Amino acid sequence: MNTNLGAWGWGWVGVFLALFVGIGFYAMRKTKSDEDFAVARSSYGPVVLAFAFAATIASGATFMSLPGMAFSKGFAALWYPATYPIAIYLGMLLAIKLIKRAGDRFKSNSLPEFMGQRYNSNFLRIAFALVSLLLVYYIAAQIVAAATIFQVLLGLEYQTGVLFSVAVIALYIVMGGSHADIITDGIQGVMMVLIALIIGIMFVLAVGFPGTGPAEINNALVAVDPNMGWDTYFIEGDALFGSFWLVTLIFIAHIPFAMNPHIGKLAFALKDPKQIRTFLLIAIPVGSILGFTVLGGLHARALVGEEIIAAGLKPDAAIPVLFTQLFPPFIAGMLGVGVLSAIMSTSDGLFISIAVIFSNDLYKKTFAPIIHKDKSPAQIEKNALTISRVAIILIGVVAIWLAWTPPKFLAILLWIGVGGILAGASGPLLVGSLWSRATKPAAIISFLVGVLGYGGSYLYLKFVKEINPNPFEVAGYSIIAASVVMVVVSLLTKPMPQEHLDRVFKS
């Protein structure tokens, strides 16, 4: 590794670490209760939240795995960034208004709690909370990405990078909870947009090649493998991009993506439901720009692909290596640490969401009314805040264990965790946000069909058929099945009481 690069990289790490820890101390002063820690209710405007929302969605997979897919598969990988932002923001557009308005009315501290309140069902609250613990796989994917950055740019051993990544994230989140999460994510979102634009400009100019223009990169890719060129729309036999239907399933799988607990909870932090339109008008283009990172994978394969393969690095290292090749150490270190901050912007929200499952959904709403009847609400709130902070440490330990041996593609590890969550949430939360006729029995059955359908199908393909499942395909089919069940069972069962529906749906 270039020693100058390592020195500059560590210098930039120091700057960002000081900034985020300082924000953690500031946010700690604003965190007085478990509700503050969980959602920072009605505390931020649409601009900050729009960048925080985009940063939370654009995780290590966007800056590492997405370019890694393009590095391995060529131009066909552009289907992914062409579909997932549209699907995610479509799902958010359909559900955010109800989640914000009704969630504030019910004082929801998490999406599992909101699901339970929407259908007046403790079973759905507890079940969704337990299934959401799978988000620890999502965290592990981010830690893998962060450790890869430390390995390529700073010269750390991979496992040392895993430990350092968890320690940094846990530090400022334990202090400031959702306030620290949102403020740091807002800053990181701005940085991520700038880096994505730089990657896009580099691709258009074919920086590093004798000529200019994307044709230079395309020609270099075709020389490596004719199937990697821009004339190949689908790769025959490929599990992800083998047909238009497989791409359609990727789109379907991402529609309920904003129903992930760490993403959907951001709606509760918006100051006023009337700001939702402004929030979306900013968030949608910002999130779409971040998809430009896929171009960096194509650029890296064409320019330095052989070096990456010869060094034994995984395809996910494409962007960091490209930066080290094209920029002086001062700039490469800054851009690399910017990518690192992008990874952290998702990890911190995930840590909080899982911690809140323990403190709010399980302790405060389930066990405290039984085992702590003699304690005052203030005491229970204090206990919940302590549980949140302790849970952050425990989650970090589990994430380290899962991330210790890196997978080939981060997106696959990520979707092992979220596929079942999204399949379970698609009926009760997405359909249930659009349709007041949705019923409690339908929500329960739809949830079970989604979760068990995803989990059962994945395990069957993995261990019985002995093939590596395409998680987008399995999730897409499970989401379709769960949504259909939601509609059919609702039509066959008794509507919920009108008084309850008025509380949920009326302004």
Any idea what the CATH number is for the domain that residue 13 is in? 1.20.1730.10
Distance CA 341, CA 259 (A): 23
The H-or-E segment that residue 116 falls in is: helix 111-119
**How many residues in total does the chain contain?**
507
pLDDT tens track for 100-148: 888 888 888 888 889 999 999 999 999 998 888 888 887 887 787 777 7
Q: Buried b vs exposed e over 419-433: b needs ≥16 C-beta within 10 Å?
A: bbbbbbbbbbbbbbb
pLDDT at 360: 82
Q: Which domain holds residue 40?
A: 3-505
The H-or-E segment that residue 449 falls in is: helix 440-459
The tokens of 85 are what?
A: 């932002």
User: CA dist 78 to 109, 240, 379, 456, 474, Å?
Assistant: 37, 11, 52, 30, 21
Beta-ladder partners of 270: 44
pLDDT at 413: 60
Cα angle: 482, vertex 484, 486; to 5 degrees: 70
The tokens of 89 are what?
A: 């923001």
Residues of the chain with pLDDT under 50: 1
DSSP 3-state helix, strand, coil percentages of the chain (rounded to 5)?
A: 85, 0, 15
Beta-ladder partners of 44: 270
pLDDT tens track for 320-379: 888 888 888 777 777 777 777 666 667 777 787 888 888 888 888 888 888 877 788 788
Distance CA 453, CA 443 (A): 15
Q: What contacts 279, CB < 8 A, 6 or more positions away? A: 46, 49, 50, 53, 96, 270
> Structurally, how many domains does the chain consist of?
1
pTM above 0.75, yes or no: yes
Give Cα 190 distance to the centre of its chain. Answer: 17
Distance CA 135, CA 53 (A): 17
pLDDT at 414: 66
Nearest 10 degrees: Cα torsion 469, 474, 475, 481: -170
pLDDT at 165: 78
